[in-house]
């Protein structure tokens, strides 16, 4: 059985400088996805042409738009790049330029040229669940996201906040605190 070896992390993308190369539908999709999860993301878009919807999104979130073809110089001070052009050569050039500068890069719909994948995300207040299919099936990730959005109660955030308050009152070492919290929350997973 094949195994997903990706390590999930939650990036504070509002602290990163992000570049999206491309202005078409895929750029709009990736940018929308990013901003839905992290509305304060600092995103620059570069493309010779932008869809109207992309322009509207950029204006709404005060994103920086550059009307130009991709140039390596646009990677300056960037920590994360998403290449979304419909030109495979440009996307692969973006990938190689990013690797040379140690910048995390995702070439949309081209898993071999990705340091990370943008999976399905479920957000309920402070609770966030990321779903990955190892880049094999974005549709499956989307369906799983819809499933979890339906089954996770909207008030899960109240539980998280209350447990955070309770955690601060528990005395003892780390191991004892974990044991008490595990005991307190075991009813969440019991059938």
Check if the beta carbon of residue 30 is closer than 8 Å to that of residue 84.
Answer: yes
Q: What is the CATH number of domain 13-118?
A: 3.40.50.720
d(CA 151, CA 130): 15
pTM as predicted: 0.85
**What is the structure's pLDDT at 177?**
78
Q: Which helix (H) or strand (E) holds 131?
A: strand 127-131
Q: What is the mean pLDDT of residues 72-86?
A: 98
Longest dimension (CA), the chain: 60
The answer, yes or no, to whether residue 142 has pLDDT greater than 80, is yes
Least confident of 28-32, 88-92, 150-154: 150-154
Q: Pick the residue with more confidence: 120 or 51?
A: 51
**What is the structure's pLDDT at 185?**
79
For 86-115, the three-class secondary structure string (H helix, E strand, C coil) is CCHHHHHHHHHHHHHCCCEEEECCCHHHEC
**What is the structure's pLDDT at 138?**
81
The tokens describing 91, both together, are: 């996307």
């Amino acid at each position: 059985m094949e195994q997903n070896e990706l390590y999930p992390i939650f990036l504070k993308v509002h602290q990163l400088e992000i570049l999206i190369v491309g202005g078409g539908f895929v750029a709009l999709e990736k940018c929308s996805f990013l901003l839905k999860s992290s509305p304060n993301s600092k995103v620059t878009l570069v493309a010779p042409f932008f869809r109207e919807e992309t322009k509207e999104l950029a204006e709404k979130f005060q994103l920086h738009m550059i009307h130009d073809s991709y140039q390596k110089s646009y990677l300056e001070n960037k920590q994360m790049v998403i290449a979304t052009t419909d030109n495979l050569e440009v996307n692969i050039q973006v990938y190689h330029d990013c690797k040379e500068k140690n910048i995390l890069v995702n070439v949309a719909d081209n898993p071999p040229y990705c340091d990370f994948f943008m999976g399905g995300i479920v957000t309920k207040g402070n609770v966030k669940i990321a779903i990955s299919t190892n880049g094999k099936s974005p549709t499956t990730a989307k369906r799983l996201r819809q499933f979890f959005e339906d089954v996770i109660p909207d008030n899960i955030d109240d539980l998280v906040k209350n447990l955070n308050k309770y955690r601060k009152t528990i005395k003892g070492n780390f191991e004892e605190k974990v044991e008490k919290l595990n005991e307190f929350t075991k009813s969440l997973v019991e059938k």
